[in-house]
Chain A
Amino acid sequence: MIDELLSKELETDALQEIPINSFSNDLEVLKKLRLRYNDELHKREVKIYEELAESLFEVRLGKYLEDGKGGGSFDSFVFELLEKIKELYISLLTGNLVSNNERVMCKVTKKVIVDGRTLDKGDIAFLPIRLVVPLWIAEYIIPCKLVDN
């Protein structure tokens, strides 16, 4: 269960590899628990699991930020996402984005509708950075770097 995952994670410096199938049976139990019961006691039990999950997230996030390794686990999507945010953050702060005030120049990589407008691959969008992140993660756009690494 999550408490075991957390204990193991706390015992080591490196990120533990946690494939999703290693706790899929536990997930079924928790799903049934959530569906079957609605009393205060079970709500508190669920709350404890949620707090454990949050702690696991924080511990693993801390470790990832420390050494940048996080592949092969059920939560690698978090680290991939963080990688993109980190890349954007560094580029923004070091003058490698084509930007104007809060808007960043992006190239459209596949057909997408933004603000009701159809944009084709190769078109250009100047968007607020808060919109750039989700669209980039969904692989609809790429922020334009002044100099590609």
Chain B
Amino acid sequence: MENFIKDPSPQDALKLIESLYAERDLCLSIPYTPDAILFSGVIMKYFKGDFFISFTENCETKLIQRGKDRWISHRGAEVYIGNSSFSSTLPLSKDDLTSILAGVYSSVMLERRRLTEWELGVVEMAKDFGVSLEKNLKIPSYNELPLFLSLMLSIDPYLQGLTGSRENSISLVKEIGLDETTKLGELDESHLNTLLYRIMMLVTKLNPKATRDDVISDKVFYMGYDLTEVAMAVSFFLDNVGSKALIQLALTPSVLEILVEKTRERLAKGFTVGQVYQKGKFYVVETSLPSPMLLSIVAQQVEGKPVKPVVIKLGNEYYSSKYFLESAEEGLIRVDIKD
């Protein structure tokens, strides 16, 4: 079906997407990812007839994802969009920009990849709507949050000892000669270099080949939101509430504020990240944070490769997500693993 030699042509997806609106009713077969769900939510928002989302391949319109490769197909027409997220192919509008960027960035975050050329083009066009792009540390919301909190919330890079730990993050900030209220933007060059050195030390402990590119990347901001934190919030909500939260976000973008606030509130309480190991077909992460998707990002860094399926061990129980498992359930799904 797919032509692997063909070059990606995400620009061709727009015509296909527009043709969807000519249907009397529409059924989309999609993978269970924040990106695909947000894409579907935006399509549904403007669709006039009955609308269905299937997580099996029952529908004539399909969002297909194999590894990082993606295709959109509809009634025999198929567009290969390469590694670009589904959401990046949606018509760009101010009303849907939050959902589009949340879809793009969740795909980037969960797959630990950089923005594709196409996605960078989308971000470039979105600058007209107030989006800004800067190259800086990957830690979340450094413009808004005190540095220690950004470090504590950082799951990519996973900063062993700092991620999830308020105490250790504050200690590090103090060791550098700063305090709990200092923000990244207030650091002078000397502090910045010391911080970068300390971060690189932690990152290279996990991955000796890590370079500055592993901790510095293109950061996208929109309406004061750091898209890294937005991606964390939609993943956290998908893990804990299910697709309805993301569909509601597509319908009412202003709920993003609540998703980000609640996720931040939970993560800022602190969480542990313990052992990461393989058990049968599963990668287990011992943690106190109820989010298999977010912890999978840590697991990828510890294992040094993409890992699936990920389960988290909360107390003595194992849980995963529909993102990793074929299941009719959503939210945290209990997995039976014998110790």
Which residues does A use to contact B, with CB under 8 Å?
A: 98, 100, 103, 105, 114-115, 117-128, 131, 144-146
Q: Which of B50, B52, B55, B248 has the most CB of A within 10 A?
A: B52
Are B50 and A103 in contact, with the CB atoms below 8 A? yes
Per-position 1/0 for B21-54, Cβ under 8 A of A: 0000101000000000000000011000011111
Are B53 and A117 in contact, with the CB atoms below 8 A? no
Number of A-B contacts (CB under 8 A): 63
Are B50 and A115 in contact, with the CB atoms below 8 A? yes
Q: Name the B residues within 8 Å of A98 (CB-CB).
A: 244, 247-248, 251
Which residues does B use to contact A, with CB under 8 Å?
A: 25, 27, 44-45, 50-56, 58-59, 243-244, 247-248, 251, 322, 327-330
Are B251 and A126 in contact, with the CB atoms below 8 A? no
Of the residues B44, B52, B248, contact of A117 by C-beta under 8 Å: B52
A99 CB, nearest partner CB in chain B, Å: 8
B238 CB, nearest partner CB in chain A, Å: 13
Are B59 and A117 in contact, with the CB atoms below 8 A? yes
A25 CB, nearest partner CB in chain B, Å: 46
Are A100 and B244 in contact, with the CB atoms below 8 A? no
Would you list 7 pairs from A and B whose C-beta atoms are within 8 A, ordered by A residue?
A98-B247, A117-B27, A122-B322, A122-B327, A124-B53, A125-B51, A144-B247
A148 CB, nearest partner CB in chain B, Å: 9
Are B244 and A122 in contact, with the CB atoms below 8 A? no
Instruction: Give the residue name and chain of the A residue nearest to B28 (CB).
Output: A124
B103 CB, nearest partner CB in chain A, Å: 17
B42 CB, nearest partner CB in chain A, Å: 11
Are B328 and A120 in contact, with the CB atoms below 8 A? yes
Tell me the complex Cα distance, A117–B51, Å. Answer: 11
Q: Name the B residues within 8 Å of A122 (CB-CB).
A: 55, 322, 327-330
Instruction: Give the residue name and chain of the B residue nearest to A122 (CB).
Output: B328
Instruction: Give the residue name and chain of the B residue nearest to A145 (CB).
Output: B244
Given A100-B44, A117-B58, A122-B328: A105 in contact with B247 (beta carbons within 8 A): yes
Q: Name the A residues within 8 Å of B27 (CB-CB).
A: 117
Are B58 and A114 in contact, with the CB atoms below 8 A? no
Are B251 and A124 in contact, with the CB atoms below 8 A? no
Which 3 pairs across A and B sit closest by C-beta, in order of nearness? A122-B328, A124-B53, A126-B51
Q: Name the B residues within 8 Å of A146 (CB-CB).
A: 244, 248
B175 CB, nearest partner CB in chain A, Å: 43
Tell me the complex Cα distance, A119–B25, Å. Answer: 14
Are A128 and B54 in contact, with the CB atoms below 8 A? no
Tell me the complex Cα distance, A26–B108, Å. Answer: 71
Instruction: Give the residue name and chain of the A residue nearest to B46 (CB).
Output: A100
A33 CB, nearest partner CB in chain B, Å: 45
Tell me the complex Cα distance, A145–B248, Å. Answer: 11
Tell me the complex Cα distance, A33–B247, Å. Answer: 56
Instruction: Give the residue name and chain of the A residue nearest to B44 (CB).
Output: A126
